[in-house]
Amino acid sequence: MSARANKALTAKLAVVVVAMFGFGYLLVPLYDLFCEITGVGGRTGTVTESTAALAKADVSRDVTVEFTAATAPGLPWEFHPLQRKVTVHPGAVTEVFYLARSKSRRATAGQAVPSVAPFDASRHFKKIECFCFTSQQLAPFEERRMAVRFVVDRELPPAVHTVTLSYMFYNVDAAAAADSTATAAATGEKT
Amino acid sequence: MASIDTTVSHDNHGDHAQPYGIMRWLTTTNHKDIGTMYLVFALLMLLVGGLMALLIRAELFEPGLQVLDPARFNQMTTLHALVMIFGAVMPGFVGFANWQVPLMIGAPDMALPRLNNFSFWILPFAFTLLLGSLLTADGGPASGWTLYAPLSVQGGMGVDMTIFAIHMMGVSSILGAINIIVTIFNLRAPGMTLMKMPLFVWTWLITAFLLIAVMPVLAGAVTMLLTDRHFGTAFFDPGGGGDPVMFQHIFWFFGHPEVYIMILPAFGIISQIIPTFARKPLFGYDSMVFATAAIAFLSFAVWAHHMFTVGMPLAGELYFMYATMLIAVPTGVKIFNWVATMWRGAMTFETPMLFAVSVVFLFTIGGLSGLMLAIVPADFQYHDTYFVVAHFHYVLFSGAVMAMMGGAYYWLPKWTGHRYNETLGKWHFWLTAVFFNITFFPQHFLGLAGMPRRIPDYALQFTEFNMVSTIGAFGLGIAQLLFVYIVVRCIIGGERADARVWEGAEGLEWTLPSPPPAHTFTTPPKIA
Ligand code: HEM
Ligand SMILES: [Cu+2]
């Protein structure tokens, strides 16, 4: 038996181990990309106001859009949509409102995460303006009406008649949120 | 990892004085000693994990809360699984590999003996840490062995201890796997070509590759948990842009190959036992090797069958359903080959053979319930019910654990030089097989009727089957004390075993005296 050969093979296998550890982490961006492409996880799309304005509404089709809302534990807010559902034509820009009200005596901040079901509709649900683009800060007991402008694009699969948009608000650190909102606003960055 | 490559194999320790007592075991680099330690450790963990299972079953004997409060109950289901998987089944198989791989390929020892010692001695520390989590203020991990986020992100210090324990177990099994691969590739006796290797060696070679491929992924997943818990990352926190479902994907990318890590060596063991007692060579050796490789290969592409209900596009559900069912094909090839080996054989039913035959039979039941679970619309109903619990106990207890028991009876005379008490062995087999079925068969019905898994209390209509199951579990637990007794008796003494031990046994290990001397095959054997 040769100690050399053992060492060489051990080294090769150790490389595999390290590579697989890295692969575990690589799964994170891969999963993200996969969701982006397929709409898994209910990722929604975004579109600019001007592009959306170019599209013509398909008045021959009605799509029902339903709204739900929830807050994660740890965020002392009341949060709900101001309309249960709306009927829209694909291609037409629509605006709806949500209401958030802080029940806290301190300044709080939340980040809303949207999700659309069914998955094959999520890519076709495009937001122009949304309170989820940045984190929201509420002063003690502040109440805020927040808008979402969206368009359901005309490529929405014909089998889909109802789309559900849901938001979950998560607690984010108020100070840090103020910081990042400031930069986001400065750079016009959207998430 | 830099420290490991200092451990090269050594052929110069032939005559140096053996330390005595505890130091012998702490410092040994002999594959037989290390194999023994692994097996003893696995048996100990089987008893610890079994005790937790009995607590769970005691709580479920009747509705309401009697024995454990819900928090403790959840800790018991979590730790029972972790202890059994990482403490009993995996180290048990490594113990078999340590003893048998060198003997079966004509090697003098494992290729990396000091590494071997290290990978064993990590384990007692890892499990002290894991079980120690029960003593912390918030108790042990209670998220289930799958450690799903966000539950596992929220738990107390016990979860951190679990994460570190998993890191240690991961290092241990990765090092063990590397050692086995290097041994098999570099230390085969001249003439022992790959396609002449006994099937047990083949199954372990493939298992070892699975281990080095997926244990690092698990290590990564729990590291992400750890940084999510303490260092401000948000891999699994949607508020920070993460996604808890991603944890499930990463976990099951490890988790499904892991279930094959726990069954392939069992396939190897019974592929040794059945030809011995059927007195015929294994039917379809080549197809067995290819089926094992095919199962391992496919196991990387089916993980999401554990998460059909999280919400997936229809195409995804269909893909994972058919891919999962595809695994049943090579598995079926194996079952066919075992049956064909027995067909018209001159069969006798000593204890190892009883275990092997029952593994073929009961594992097949587990495979069939697996196929039912693979059907997406059915799984929406069965997921997270006792049907899943029944499924995996048929493949893991009556597959992996009973194969190891069969293997223990098969090789104990070789290892100890004594025959075990055959009458008691048969008693142990029948008690185990009968009580196993009493415990787990009713759980199929409970699951079909909708009883969820991992709950300490349940609706009244489930009472009868739960009572039966609990009675079976206590019988099964007590029967294992008989196993411990038989093994201890066999180590201490008994009728002397000759070299061949079993009339129909074939293979290099049977050319050695029983028990084999500390150093064997220092000059490579001649392979016919
Ligand atoms: C024909 C082969 C098999 C098929 C088709 C199959 C299929 C499945 C499916 C679909 C599930 C998910 C059920 C659910 O959670 O809803 C499952 C769970 C499970 N299977 Fe299998 N399986 C097979 C063989 C095995 C083997 C050989 C093992 C282990 C030795 C195994 C161990 C497990 C375990 C441990 C779980 C539950 C994991 C958990 O949620 O804690 N299976 N199986
Ligand atoms: Cu699986």
What is the tens place of the pLDDT at every residue in B263-320?
999 999 999 999 999 999 999 999 999 999 999 999 999 999 999 998 888 888 999 9
- Looking from the CA of residue B396, the nearest atom of ligand 1 is 30
Position B16 scores a pLDDT of 53
- For chain A, the structural domain boundaries read 2-38, 42-190
B11 vs A contacts (CB less than 8 Å): 1
Amino acid letter, residue B4: I
| Cβ–Cβ < 8 Å for B249, B243 | no
- For chain B, the structural domain boundaries read 27-511
For B228-237, give one letter per residue: b (16+ CB within 10 A) or e. bbeeebbbbb
| Cβ–Cβ < 8 Å for B398, B362 | yes
Tokens, residue B272: 């040794």
| Cβ–Cβ < 8 Å for B71, B155 | no
Residues 6+ apart with CB under 8 A from B503: B279
Q: Give chain B's count of helices (H) and strands (E).
A: 18, 0
Q: Of the candidates B111, B238, B253, which has its C-beta nearest A170's C-beta?
A: B238
Among B196, B205, B198, B152, smallest CA distance to B177 is for B205
Position B17 scores a pLDDT of 59
* Residue B312 contacts A, CB cutoff 8 Å: yes
Amino acid letter, residue A103: K
Query: HSE on the CB side for B243, CA within 13 Å?
Result: 22
User: Could you give the maximum distance between any two Cα atoms of chain B, in Å?
Assistant: 68
Specify the DSSP class assigned to residue B34.
Answer: H
Helix, strand or coil, per DSSP, at residue B307: coil
> Residue A182 pLDDT more than 80?
no
How far apart are alpha carbons B153 and B378 in whole angstroms? 31
Among B338, B333, B414, smallest CA distance to B104 is for B414
Using 50, 70 and 90 to split pLDDT, how confident is the model at A124? confident
For the sheet with A93-102, list strands across it: A45-46, A125-130, A143-152, A93-102, A77-81
**B367-370 — which CB contacts under 8 Å span 24+ positions?**
B367/B328, B367/B331, B367/B335, B367/B395, B369/B394, B369/B444, B370/B324, B370/B328, B370/B395
> Residue A184 pLDDT more than 60?
no
Active site residue B306: yes
Q: What average pLDDT does the segment A92-117 reach?
A: 90
Looking at the DSSP bridge assignments, the partners of residue A169 are: A71, A112
| Cβ–Cβ < 8 Å for A147, A157 | no
Q: Of the candidates A1, A16, A27, which has its C-beta nearest B250's C-beta?
A: A27
Which residue numbers in chain B have pLDDT < 70? 1-18, 528
> Residue A105 pLDDT more than 60?
yes
Q: How does DSSP assign A89-141, residue by residue?
A: -TT-EEEEEEEEEE--SS-EEEEEEEEEESHHHHTTEEEEEETTSS-EEE-TT
Position B15 scores a pLDDT of 46
* Residue B112 contacts A, CB cutoff 8 Å: yes
- Looking from the CA of residue B367, the nearest atom of ligand 1 is 1
Among B340, B343, B324, B334, smallest CA distance to B364 is for B334
Position B4 scores a pLDDT of 42
For B169-190, give one letter per residue: b (16+ CB within 10 A) or e. bbbbbbbbbbbbbbbbebbbbe
A20–B212: do the CB atoms touch at under 8 Å?
Answer: yes
How far apart are alpha carbons B205 and B212 in whole angstroms? 11
Tokens, residue B373: 């679970």
High-pLDDT (> 90) share of chain A, %: 41
Residue spans of alpha helices (H) in B187-198: none
Helix, strand or coil, per DSSP, at residue A79: strand
Helix, strand or coil, per DSSP, at residue B110: coil
Looking at the complex, report in whole angstroms how far the Cα of residue B164 sits from the nearest Cα belonging to chain A.
16
Active site residue B391: no
Helix, strand or coil, per DSSP, at residue A65: strand
Tokens 């050695």 sit on residue:
B512
How far apart are alpha carbons B401 and B440 in whole angstroms? 14
- Report which secondary-structure segment, H or E, holds A167: strand A162-172
Q: Of the candidates A7, A28, A171, which has its C-beta nearest B8's C-beta?
A: A7
From the candidates B306, B383, B393, B444, give the one annotated as an active-site residue. B306
Looking at the DSSP bridge assignments, the partners of residue A35 are: none
Tokens, residue A165: 């948009």
| Cβ–Cβ < 8 Å for B453, B469 | no
B243 vs A contacts (CB less than 8 Å): 31, 35, 41
What ipTM does this complex have? 0.88
B253–A27: do the CB atoms touch at under 8 Å?
Answer: yes
Specify the DSSP class assigned to residue B86.
Answer: I
Active site residue B453: yes
Position B479 scores a pLDDT of 97
Looking at the DSSP bridge assignments, the partners of residue A65 are: A86, A163
User: Could you give the maximum distance between any two Cα atoms of chain A, in Å?
Assistant: 79
A24–B238: do the CB atoms touch at under 8 Å?
Answer: no
The verdict on pTM exceeding 0.80 is: yes
How far apart are alpha carbons B213 and B254 in whole angstroms? 8
Tokens, residue B516: 């084999």
Terminal-residue alpha carbon distance, chain A:
59
Ligand 1 pocket (Cβ < 6 Å) reads: B 146, 259, 262-263, 305-306, 324, 327-328, 331, 367, 370-371, 373-374, 379, 382-383, 388, 391-392, 395-396, 399-400
Mutate to test the pocket of ligand 1, among B307, B310, B392, B397 (most ligand atoms within 8 A of CB): B392
* Residue B14 contacts A, CB cutoff 8 Å: no
- Which of A4, A12, A18, A28 to mutate to probe the B interface, most B CBs <10 Å? A28
User: Given 3-state DSSP classes, what are the helix, strand and coil percentages for chain B, each rounded to the nearest 5?
Assistant: 75, 0, 25
CA angle, B422 as apex, B419 and B423 as ends, to 5°? 150
Helix, strand or coil, per DSSP, at residue B448: helix
Q: Using one digit for the tens of pLDDT, what is the confidence trace for B146-166?
A: 999 889 998 899 999 999 999
* Residue B528 contacts A, CB cutoff 8 Å: no
Terminal-residue alpha carbon distance, chain B:
40
Among B151, B239, B248, B241, smallest CA distance to A168 is for B239
Tokens 């005691």 sit on residue:
B58
Q: Domain B27-511, what architecture?
A: Up-down Bundle (1.20)
A23–B178: do the CB atoms touch at under 8 Å?
Answer: no
B245–A41: do the CB atoms touch at under 8 Å?
Answer: yes
| Cβ–Cβ < 8 Å for A63, A89 | yes
| Cβ–Cβ < 8 Å for B305, B257 | no
Helices B314-342 and B351-374: crossing angle in degrees, nearest 10, is 160
How far apart are alpha carbons B218 and B166 in whole angstroms? 8
Looking at the DSSP bridge assignments, the partners of residue A145 are: A99
Position A49 scores a pLDDT of 72
B173 vs A contacts (CB less than 8 Å): none
Amino acid letter, residue B11: D
* Residue A117 contacts B, CB cutoff 8 Å: yes
Position B188 scores a pLDDT of 95
Looking at the DSSP bridge assignments, the partners of residue A80 are: A99
What distance lies between CA B79 and its chain's CA centroid? 15
Helix, strand or coil, per DSSP, at residue B519: coil
What is the CB neighbour count within 10 angstroms for residue A139? 12
How far apart are alpha carbons B316 and B376 in whole angstroms? 11
* Chain pair A-B, CB pairs under 8 angstroms: 110
Q: Of the candidates A1, A21, A35, which has its C-beta nearest B186's C-beta?
A: A1
Q: Which ligand is nearest to the CA of B396?
A: 1
Among B387, B385, B485, smallest CA distance to B431 is for B485
Using 50, 70 and 90 to split pLDDT, how confident is the model at A174? low
Position B6 scores a pLDDT of 38
Superfamily (CATH H level) for A42-190: Ctag/Cox11 (2.60.370.10)
Position B355 scores a pLDDT of 98
